Structure 1
Amino acid sequence: MTPGAGRWRRLPLRVRLIAGFAAAMLVVLTGAGGFVYLRVRYALDRRLDADLTAEQTAVAAALHDGTLDPRNPAIVSGGLYQILDPTGAILQASPGLTNRALLTSGQAAAARHGPVRADLGTLLPISPEPLRVLATALPADTTPPAGQPAVMVVAVRRDQRDEALRELIAQLALANLAALAVASFVGYRLARAALDPVERYRAQAARITDGATGVRLDVPPGDDELTRLGRTLNDMLAALDTALERERRFVSDASHELRTPLTLLAAELELALRRPRPATELQEALRAAATDTAALITLADTLLAVGVQPAPAADAPPTDLAHTVEPIVRRYRNAADLPDTALRTDLDPAPPVRLDPVRLDRIVTNLLDNALRHGAPPITVATATADGWARLTVHDTGPGMPAEFLPHATERFARADTARTTPGTGLGLSLVEAIVTAHGGQLRCCSGPAHHHPQQDPVPCPHRGTGTTITVLLPTTERG
């Protein structure tokens, strides 16, 4: 980057816009003025050329008749003519043109082969005697002395034409300057009006950078680019606030849930080291510490899984829900040493879903853990299709959840009073809901006669009146 380009980029955007606009307008106005000037000059020159042609005809006729008298130039319109020999020397001329030839020797030689037009004197600076001349060859028998070829030159004054062009240039310059000033002022006002919302956005963003929360940009009504930018930035700020709140909740929940088991673990180890103990008691203390450590690791892993917003697997291949769920349930049944009657399946075919098997495994495993810990066998895992959705349900026949607890069932660490004596952290349903929602699905909890569905669901609550049913609705590849 050159130093000039660097300085240009450091200028305020408003200044650069006005400078660029003014430069473009200057080019346009200059081009338009030049076009007008050329057209006017062409029209004036045609008028002069017509006068020259008429004068040339009159001089040629007078020369042919022998009535051409330099002392009486009134026989021609302008009275300005010269007869030159091939070298450019004056043979005959009207009064005032006897001392200097109007053509150079080269122009005189060229006139023998065709008409030559030329302007003598400049438009600017002003010449004392501006002329426009026309030179043509004369037959040898009409030129004194007889038999000598010559060139006839006629001329008209350009004073009025040049004065008109100078006045035109002055008027165009003034008009262009006035137009440039007005256009620059209008451009400045437009640029200012266009960039004022951006400056307001910047000032409000600076407040947010300084730590202000809940601040949103003041977006004016309308649907132009800046208002759409403001709405997008407000959506981004809302997402950032949500992420920040989720992070704060995660830190608060993690510190709250980890503090108690860590304190118990430290107390157990301190008690074991307080006085000499038999090897059997030390082994028992170490086993208890190992169990607590494993529980802490599980809790930390679950906290991390819940704290990180799951990203939808947009590129995941289509997954057959029934065929993928069946081995997951079989593996869980074998690991938990449950009979077939305690953990049953009712897997009807369903259209494929965009959900990788790893996340589907986590969903099913968490739902089965929740049903086994807080419900009672038999537990039924079913798949089906409902109004264009793929449906996965896990139903147990336990005592169910209290109706007042259902709206909070998917919150982190939420546990019903009846479930506080059973193992668990209260994070399973929260993790399932996070995965399902990230993939465009819905999660619904039904228990006994009560039911809770955070989003509008296309199917009624099954198994109402018996135990607890957790329903997962996932969009199919056909639904998009």
Structure 2
Amino acid sequence: MRPAAFFARLPIRLRVAATFALVMATLLALAGAGLYVALGATLRSGIDDALRTRAADVAAIASEVTDGRSDTSPLTERGESVAQILTPAGRIVDASPTMRSTPLLTRSQLGAAARGDTYARRPAIRPVDDDDVTRLLARPVTSDGQRLIVVVGASLEPVETAQHRLAKLLLVGGPVLLLLASVAGYGAATGALRPMERMRRDAATIRTVRSGLRLEVPPAGDEVARLAATLNDMLARLDEASRRERAFVDDASHEMRTPLALVKGELELAMRTGATVDELRAAIASAAEENDRLVRLAEDLLVLARTDDGPVLATTPIHVAELVDLVRETVVAAGRPGTPAEADEPPRVEVRLADGAEDVVVHGDERRLVRVVGNLVRNAADAGATRVTVDARVADGTAELHVLDDGSGFAEPFLPRAFERFARADDARARGGTGLGLAIVRSVAEAHGGTAGAANRPAGGADVWIRLPDRPLSSGTHPPRS
């Protein structure tokens, strides 16, 4: 198993703690290395300062060596442990007791020291410690006209000892600090996830959205609180959707019960002994009419079900003028469907476009929009209108399609619930409508990101419209539940 896959399988708190431990280990390693280097540099800088001071002191007494004013070695009298006074050729003029046999500088180092201060390293000056390293400083001086080179040295053992102790301390204390940091990270992750665990337990107790139970929202106002609020909103939407679905099923059952009962009654009447041919024909005609009503109801329910299931719209650019032409072809060519046979003539459908509407382009499903506008025209015709006008308007970046008629309009108490499913005015009930036409209009309009509305015209009649954006919906947009 790859490390990434294994890491993804770990619980969140372990992943947080492991990430925290890895970051802390990296920081501790970098900090330890930096501290180790900084300590060595600081101690070596102190040694260099001491060497410069000693070199100045030895240079001050170099004249005593060259003029022979002292029978003893000035370096021995000062207690210098690592010091020499050399000629540019490398001859030892004076030296501390243990440094009298061999010059401290090589020939190349002598040449560099003759030009200015030179630092060098020399191992194993002390015979008792082969690992000892001495830091040397060579400085050119002039005494009584003679060029000399003063060399002083100091052991680097204190620096190495201090660094070794620091390394041991880091190797022992680092893992302890890392362990404590990991435990702290695990505890912090556990504490941060505790509200989510409480939300999980609360969610497990919610058996149904109708219970009215909601998750507790933490007071911190952080991401967890926003998650709880979002889940509560989702539960509220599910509760509302469940309520609508129950009402929808109840209404559909009620609407289908009546025509089924009528069909059954007509068939029983037809099977009655002694029924005449005319009575049989009337019973069969009535049953066929109720069957047609059931078919329309089933088709409308299928449209609403498919819309609620969220199919992807076949969105294409549609010119309003072309849309109105299609409506005219599908509605006017079909006459006046659903109107009584004794009607004198079907209503005349007049298509009128507002100024500038010819160039309006809406983005939507052409088949559904044609059906919606066609349904509105048929509804107006079924309501007894003698003239129906489809009016296209443009306002604030939206296209409005209004279906205007000269009928009796809507009853004012009915208008607020005109687009609800199975909502029907009394006269519509008398005509046997399903009450789903305007609900389908609203669902399709909302699926396109628009709205639907209805109002009575001041001069009489109704005005039903859909408002569509003149921009395409994003790819894969699903219609919302109405």
TM-score (norm 1): 0.67
Which residue is equivalent to 2:418?
Answer: 409
More moved, 222-231 vs 17-26: 222-231
Which residue is equivalent to 2:22?
Answer: 23
2:40 pairs with 1:41: yes
Q: Structure 1 residues 119 and 23, CA, compared in 2 at 3 Å: closer, same or farther? A: farther
Q: Structure 1 residues 418 and 53, CA, compared in 2 at 3 Å: closer, same or farther? A: closer
Q: Structure 1 residues 261 and 473, CA, compared in 2 at 3 Å: closer, same or farther? A: closer
Q: Once the two structures are aligned, what percentage of the paired residues are identical?
A: 34
Question: CA-to-partner distance for each residue in 1:297-327, whole Å, 9 max, x for gaps?
Answer: 322110121233377859431431x552245
Which residue is equivalent to 1:124?
Answer: none
Could you tell me which amino acid in structure 2 is paired with residue 342 of structure 1?
P
Which residue is equivalent to 2:76?
Answer: 74
Could you tell me which amino acid in structure 2 is paired with residue 412 of structure 1?
R
Q: Structure 1 residues 306 and 5, CA, compared in 2 at 3 Å: closer, same or farther? A: closer
**Aligned partners of 1:55 and 1:154 also within 8 Å:** yes
Q: Report the Cα offset of residue 363 of structure 1.
A: 1.9
What is the rounded CA distance, in whole Å, between the counterparts of 2:451 and 2:365 in structure 1? Answer: 17
Within the candidate set 361, 370, 385, 2:393 is matched to 385
**Aligned partners of 1:392 and 1:471 also within 8 Å:** yes
Q: Report the Cα offset of residue 257 of structure 1.
A: 2.7
Q: Report the Cα offset of residue 296 of structure 1.
A: 2.7
Within the candidate set 355, 358, 372, 1:363 is matched to 372
What is the Cα-based RMSD across aligned positions, in Å?
Answer: 5.3
Q: Structure 1 residues 173 and 264, CA, compared in 2 at 3 Å: closer, same or farther? A: same
Q: Report the Cα offset of residue 378 of structure 1.
A: 1.3
Q: Structure 1 residues 116 and 442, CA, compared in 2 at 3 Å: closer, same or farther? A: closer
What is the rounded CA distance, in whole Å, between the counterparts of 2:233 and 2:36 in structure 1? Answer: 56
Question: How do 1:440-451 residues align onto structure 2 when only pairs under 5 Å count?
Answer: 440-446=449-455
What is the rounded CA distance, in whole Å, between the counterparts of 2:253 and 2:427 in structure 1? Answer: 24
What is the rounded CA distance, in whole Å, between the counterparts of 2:29 and 2:228 in structure 1? Answer: 39
Q: Report the Cα offset of residue 73 of structure 1.
A: 7.6
What is the rounded CA distance, in whole Å, between the counterparts of 1:471 and 1:279 in structure 2? Answer: 45
Residue 421 of structure 2 aligns to a residue whose secondary structure is coil
Q: Structure 1 residues 212 and 110, CA, compared in 2 at 3 Å: closer, same or farther? A: farther
Within the candidate set 373, 376, 388, 2:384 is matched to 376
Which residue is equivalent to 2:208?
Answer: 211
Residue 397 of structure 1 aligns to a residue whose secondary structure is coil
What is the rounded CA distance, in whole Å, between the counterparts of 1:37 and 1:47 in structure 2? Answer: 16
Q: Report the Cα offset of residue 291 of structure 1.
A: 5.3
Question: CA-to-partner distance for each residue in 1:85-120, whole Å, 9 max, x for gaps?
Answer: xxxxxxxx987899xx999xxx98998998862556
Which residue is equivalent to 1:472?
Answer: 465
Q: Report the Cα offset of residue 203 of structure 1.
A: 3.3
**Aligned partners of 2:364 and 2:472 also within 8 Å:** no
Within the candidate set 397, 421, 427, 1:418 is matched to 427
Within the candidate set 458, 475, 479, 1:463 is matched to 458
Question: CA-to-partner distance for each residue in 1:47-101, whole Å, 9 max, x for gaps?
Answer: 445666888996997999999999998357542589xxxxxxxxxx987899xx9
What is the rounded CA distance, in whole Å, between the counterparts of 2:70 and 2:330 in structure 1? Answer: 128
Could you tell me which amino acid in structure 1 is paired with residue 381 of structure 2?
L
Q: Structure 1 residues 74 and 282, CA, compared in 2 at 3 Å: closer, same or farther? A: farther
Could you tell me which amino acid in structure 1 is paired with residue 36 of structure 2?
Y
**Aligned partners of 2:136 and 2:151 also within 8 Å:** yes
Question: CA-to-partner distance for each residue in 1:352-386, whole Å, 9 max, x for gaps?
Answer: 4334332222222322332333x223132241537
Which residue is equivalent to 2:143?
Answer: none
What is the rounded CA distance, in whole Å, between the counterparts of 1:8 and 1:324 in structure 2? Answer: 56
Q: Structure 1 residues 13 and 110, CA, compared in 2 at 3 Å: closer, same or farther? A: farther
TM-score (norm 2): 0.67
Question: How do 1:215-364 residues align onto structure 2 when only pairs under 5 Å count?
Answer: 215-220=213-218, 224-262=222-260, 264-265=262-263, 292-307=290-305, 308-309=307-308, 313=313, 315-320=315-320, 322-329=321-328, 331-336=330-335, 342-345=347-350, 347-349=352-354, 350=357, 351-364=360-373
What is the rounded CA distance, in whole Å, between the counterparts of 1:304 and 1:70 in structure 2? Answer: 121
What is the rounded CA distance, in whole Å, between the counterparts of 1:162 and 1:327 in structure 2? Answer: 94
Q: Structure 1 residues 470 and 222, CA, compared in 2 at 3 Å: closer, same or farther? A: farther
Q: Structure 1 residues 109 and 211, CA, compared in 2 at 3 Å: closer, same or farther? A: farther
Q: Structure 1 residues 441 and 13, CA, compared in 2 at 3 Å: closer, same or farther? A: closer
Q: Report the Cα offset of residue 44 of structure 1.
A: 2.0
**Aligned partners of 1:78 and 1:156 also within 8 Å:** no
Count of residues in correspondence between the two structures: 431
Within the candidate set 367, 391, 395, 2:405 is matched to 395
Question: CA-to-partner distance for each residue in 1:106-137, whole Å, 9 max, x for gaps?
Answer: x989989988625569xxxxx8984426599x
Question: CA-to-partner distance for each residue in 1:146-184, whole Å, 9 max, x for gaps?
Answer: xxxxxx998644454345435544666788678657755
Q: Structure 1 residues 79 and 406, CA, compared in 2 at 3 Å: closer, same or farther? A: closer
What is the rounded CA distance, in whole Å, between the counterparts of 2:121 and 2:284 in structure 1? Answer: 117
Q: Structure 1 residues 354 and 311, CA, compared in 2 at 3 Å: closer, same or farther? A: farther
Q: Report the Cα offset of residue 199 of structure 1.
A: 3.0
Could you tell me which amino acid in structure 2 is paired with residue 371 of structure 1?
A
Could you tell me which amino acid in structure 2 is paired with residue 474 of structure 1?
R
What is the rounded CA distance, in whole Å, between the counterparts of 2:219 and 2:446 in structure 1? Answer: 32
Q: Report the Cα offset of residue 429 of structure 1.
A: 1.6
**Aligned partners of 1:318 and 1:352 also within 8 Å:** yes
**Aligned partners of 2:363 and 2:471 also within 8 Å:** no
Residue 436 of structure 1 aligns to a residue whose secondary structure is helix
Question: How do 1:91-170 residues align onto structure 2 when only pairs under 5 Å count?
Answer: 117-118=121-122, 130-132=132-134, 134=136, 156-158=154-156, 160-166=158-164, 168-169=166-167
What is the rounded CA distance, in whole Å, between the counterparts of 2:259 and 2:51 in structure 1? Answer: 114
Q: Structure 1 residues 67 and 231, CA, compared in 2 at 3 Å: closer, same or farther? A: farther
Residue 420 of structure 1 aligns to a residue whose secondary structure is helix
What is the rounded CA distance, in whole Å, between the counterparts of 1:120 and 1:239 in structure 2? Answer: 85
What is the rounded CA distance, in whole Å, between the counterparts of 1:436 and 1:315 in structure 2? Answer: 13
Q: Structure 1 residues 386 and 154, CA, compared in 2 at 3 Å: closer, same or farther? A: closer
Which residue is equivalent to 2:115?
Answer: none
**Aligned partners of 2:136 and 2:154 also within 8 Å:** no
Residue 247 of structure 2 aligns to a residue whose secondary structure is helix
